[in-house]
Amino acid sequence: QVQLLESGGGLVQAGGSLRLSCAASGRTFNTYVMGWFRQAPGKEREFVATIRWSGGSTYYADSVKGRFTISRDNAKNTVYLQMNSLKPEDTAVYYCAADRGYTGSNYWQYDYWGQGTQVTVCS
């Protein structure tokens, strides 16, 4: 079992940057696929980015490609989401997720979730 705790959200102006962190419990962190998702009010949860076990394979939603970077430090049991050139439409609660086998973008197939961290981008 994995427990996830996000941090790093906040209020930022458009064009600014934030870095989200997700600290995971568990000694087998490096065997999990990690993902970031977000959910805006009244909208369905949507995929942002995933990173595989070794950190060598990453995958991004088109809406964030070139602006966001996902990375992981297995020694620290932490996954990061560096967000640059933020836009008001990036405003959402951002969630960290983990799964042993699934490597895709469907949020309902991830087994473990954090509580979320709010990101608000003002214009």
Q: Look at residue 93 in the predicted model and tell me its pLDDT.
A: 98
Phi first, then psi: what are they for 57, rounded to 5°? -115, 125
- Residue 112 and residue 2 in contact, taking contact as beta carbons nearer than 8 Å: yes
The pLDDT of residue 96? 97
What's residue 87's pLDDT?
98
Q: To the nearest 5 percent, what fractions of the chain are helix, strand and coil?
A: 5, 50, 45
Give the pLDDT of residue 13.
Answer: 98
**Which of 112, 47, 35, 116 minimizes the C-alpha distance to 80?**
35
- The string of pLDDT tens digits covering residues 66-107 is 999 999 998 899 999 999 999 999 999 999 999 988 888 999
The pLDDT value recorded for residue 102 is 86
**C-alpha dist (Å) from residue 48 to 1, 26, 28, 30, 36:** 23, 24, 23, 20, 5
Contact 107, 99 (CB under 8 A): no
- Mean pLDDT over residues 8-16, rounded? 98
Nearest to residue 23, comparing CAs of 49, 42, 3?
Answer: 3
pLDDT in tens, 37-74: 999 999 999 999 999 977 679 999 999 999 999 999 98
Work out the end-to-end distance of the chain between its first and last CA atoms, rounded to an integer number of angstroms. Answer: 40
If 0-12 CB within 10 Å is exposed, 13-18 middle and 19+ buried, where does residue 56 land? exposed
**In this predicted structure, what is the pLDDT of residue 114?**
97
